[in-house]
Amino acid sequence: MGAASGKTIDTGFVEEIRGALRGAIDLILPYRCAVCGRVSDTEDRFDSYNSLYMELYGQSPDLHICGKCLSSLNIQDEDRRWFLCLSNPVSGDPCPGLALYMPFEYKGLVELVIPKIKFGKKYELARFFGCVLGSALQGENISADLVVPVPLSKKRLEERGFNQAGEIAFPVAKLNGIPYADDCLIRIKETMRQSDITDKGMRAVNVSNAFRVSDDWDVTGLNVVVIDDVATTGSTLHEAALALYKAGASKVLCAAFAGNRSLKNAEPF
Ligand SMILES: [Zn+2]
């Protein structure tokens, strides 16, 4: 009994010390990395991001990523950022040659962060990625009339509370001066998570006819950029593009923050 209560006191005491230490460290180095959780001393690297975020959202981002994590975020060389949307092109493709802009590889920091965004509900990280993607796209001088995110189903949106593709797409639109529409595409089919399906063919079947353009939008003759967080087989973005073409869009481009391809094989227009 005595030993047990002694243990309780010890644990509480240790926690107290730990808490006090954490508080002291936070006072000196107040920034904790949103990716690895370590206390960060590199907040000054975020000055330009902070003001950009302020401009876009009217508040401070309250997001810090340490120098070590940031340094593992390596953008692809400029001539290696455009891909064919479908990693495995099919014959009779209704939107052949569909181009996908994807400036990061799915590894390192990106591999760590994407699950944090989706399942840890870290929309701030999605916005950060959106700002990075948007800044990269600025160099491409694309001309488009509308930026739309790949939509979640109503059910999944309610579960997660936000659409990560939308959080990425919004800053992309703003930074490139293109109108943003988060309600243009609608997911009309409840699909399985693409990441839960390993077979390429099954991924295509899973998202087949999953989207349509909302009756509130007329995309006839418009150039539209569709945005998702990650592209693997490209099936999801391809289906979203198909829905836009069916509704009369003139040209569709796809963009994703990251993927696992390395071969440049497409041109934007
Ligand atoms: Zn870190």
Q: What is the CATH number of the domain that holds 173?
A: 3.40.50.2020
Do 178 and 55 lie in a common domain?
A: no
Indicate the residue among 37, 53, 70 that finishes a domain: 70
What is the arithmetic mean of pLDDT over 169-188?
96
Do 117 and 244 lie in a common domain?
A: yes
Do 41 and 80 lie in a common domain?
A: no
Q: Which amino acid is at 75?
A: I
pLDDT for residue 22: 61
With respect to residue 6, please indicate whether it lies within any of the assigned structural domains. yes
Do 139 and 46 lie in a common domain?
A: no
Q: Which residue has the higher pLDDT, 34 or 2?
A: 34
Do 213 and 148 lie in a common domain?
A: yes
- For residue 173, give both structure tokens: 């639109």
Do 52 and 157 lie in a common domain?
A: no
β-pairing, 223-231 with 39-40? unpaired
With respect to residue 267, please indicate whether it lies within any of the assigned structural domains. no
Which domain, by its residues, includes 20? 2-70
With respect to residue 133, please indicate whether it lies within any of the assigned structural domains. yes
Do 161 and 246 lie in a common domain?
A: yes
Distance 44 CA to ligand 1 centre (A): 14
Distance 95 CA to ligand 1 centre (A): 40
Tens digit of each residue's pLDDT (9 = 90 or more) over 106-151: 988 898 888 888 888 789 899 999 999 999 999 898 899 999 999 9
- For residue 253, give both structure tokens: 């481009």
Q: What confidence category does residue 4 fall into, taking pLDDT thresholds of 50, 70 and 90? A: very low
Distance 133 CA to ligand 1 centre (A): 20
Distance 106 CA to ligand 1 centre (A): 17
pLDDT for residue 119: 82
With respect to residue 134, please indicate whether it lies within any of the assigned structural domains. yes
Whether residue 19 is predicted with pLDDT greater than 80 in this model: the reply is no
Distance 38 CA to ligand 1 centre (A): 6
Number of domains observed in the structure of the chain: 2
- For residue 61, give both structure tokens: 């981002």
Tens digit of each residue's pLDDT (9 = 90 or more) over 40-99: 665 545 667 778 888 999 988 878 888 788 888 888 888 889 999 998 888 899 898 999
Do 95 and 135 lie in a common domain?
A: yes
Q: Tell me the three state secondary structure of residue 181.
A: coil
Q: What is the pTM of this model?
A: 0.83
Do 112 and 193 lie in a common domain?
A: yes
Whether residue 5 is predicted with pLDDT greater than 50 in this model: the reply is no
Task: Give the H or E element holding residue 203.
Answer: helix 200-207
pLDDT for residue 24: 64
